[in-house]
Amino acid sequence: MTTIEKRDRRYVEALCRRYRRWGAWGADDERGALNFITPEVLVRTGRIVSCALPFDEQSPHSGRFGGRHNPMHIMVQDGGDIAFGAQDHLNELRFTEDAVAMPLHCGTHWNALAHIFHQRRMYGGHGVEYVTSKGAARNGIEKVADGIAGRGVLLDMPGYFGVEWMQPGQAITSEDLAGAAREQAVEVGSGDIVLIRTGHIAKARAEGTWGSYEAGDAPGLGVDSVHWICENEVAAVCADTGEAEVRPNDTDEVFQPLQLILLVNAGIQLGGIFDLENLARVCAEESRYEFLFVAPPSPLIGAVASPAHPLAFF
């Protein structure tokens, strides 16, 4: 593994300013880099691949980070209610009913542009006063509920590095991203949604435990990956790790620098806990690493994240 030089706070802040797009699509813009997406039709064979981790009690969260816990599925009305006559007041019809309680980051998810602040400002320069106990008044996830659909590109980084999976702490550079795209014979350009496979979920499955997946060390995008991502006008980035970037971060003085550069300043949607194992297999079988990718978040008004069920269409 190549040792990546640690970067300081000034370096990260310079990248934030360099790739800042506040006002690029008007003063009221709350969609960020999704403005790069234009209509395209990529479906050829009709093959569909899910990229979502199941939402259940076997998900990777235990509450150790930010109080995030796995989904709690509760039956409000079940077969027992029917059997014991709780619905006998109804003519003929009987029913079951359920509910789910979960943090919005607990499984496959997108972050809203209101999720992260840098120097007390989120994307567009809006201050902390815009997110209250009632939710986000600016940049809530509902603002992009119809926007995360377009040309998807998978970059299979373990395939590029010639390993089963990347190791925790291994950072992906701009050079690595360009090299993987070149090796896979796929071009990445304006409006694309890039999916980064590190093999972190494959590693957890092979070991039979999520271990420290939710908040521990992980492979992922290093701070210098932002050059390739921003200069190619990528609209959104997601990965098979919790938050897409390498942990420990390759910055000495800034925690999660990609969140500050990409989400807060460049307006690029970031997604985490995407299950890309089947997708990588199908891409290899099809000899094709581009597809129609449809992954809308739920229109949860004022939410700073949303679960997603992303689908890749071949």
- Give tens-digit pLDDT for 1-58: 444 567 889 999 999 999 999 999 999 999 999 999 987 767 888 899 999 988 877 7
- Residues 179 and 211 placed together within one structural domain of the fold: yes
- Residues 81 and 154 placed together within one structural domain of the fold: no
Which of residues 104 and 311 earns the better pLDDT score?
311
| Tokens found for residue 190 | 């304006």
- Residues 61 and 186 placed together within one structural domain of the fold: yes
- Residues 135 and 211 placed together within one structural domain of the fold: yes
What mean pLDDT comes out for the span 73-84? 93
CATH code of residue 25 = 3.50.30.50
Q: Is residue 3 situated within a structural domain?
A: no
Question: What is the average pLDDT value for the chain, to the nearest integer?
Answer: 93
Instruction: Identify the pLDDT of residue 63.
Output: 61
**Local confidence band at 100 (pLDDT 50, 70, 90 cut-offs):** confident
Q: Is residue 159 situated within a structural domain?
A: yes
Question: What is the tally of structural domains in the chain?
Answer: 2
Instruction: Identify the pLDDT of residue 1.
Output: 41
- Residues 250 and 176 placed together within one structural domain of the fold: yes
Report pLDDT digits (tens) over 221-260.
Answer: 999 999 999 999 999 999 999 989 999 999 989 999 999 9
Report pLDDT digits (tens) over 125-155.
Answer: 999 999 999 999 999 999 999 989 999 999 9
Q: Is residue 2 situated within a structural domain?
A: no
Q: Is residue 196 situated within a structural domain?
A: yes
- Residues 83 and 51 placed together within one structural domain of the fold: no
Query: Domain boundary residue among 101, 117, 149?
Result: 101
- The domain of 234 spans 9-65+103-313
- Residues 180 and 307 placed together within one structural domain of the fold: yes
- Residues 81 and 129 placed together within one structural domain of the fold: no
Q: Is residue 144 situated within a structural domain?
A: yes
- Residues 137 and 196 placed together within one structural domain of the fold: yes
Q: Is residue 38 situated within a structural domain?
A: yes
**Whether the predicted pLDDT of 196 surpasses 90:** yes
Whose structure tokens read 């990546």?
Answer: 4
Q: Is residue 173 situated within a structural domain?
A: yes
- Residues 201 and 108 placed together within one structural domain of the fold: yes
- Residues 189 and 93 placed together within one structural domain of the fold: no
Q: Is residue 1 situated within a structural domain?
A: no
- Residues 165 and 130 placed together within one structural domain of the fold: yes
Which of residues 105 and 170 earns the better pLDDT score?
170
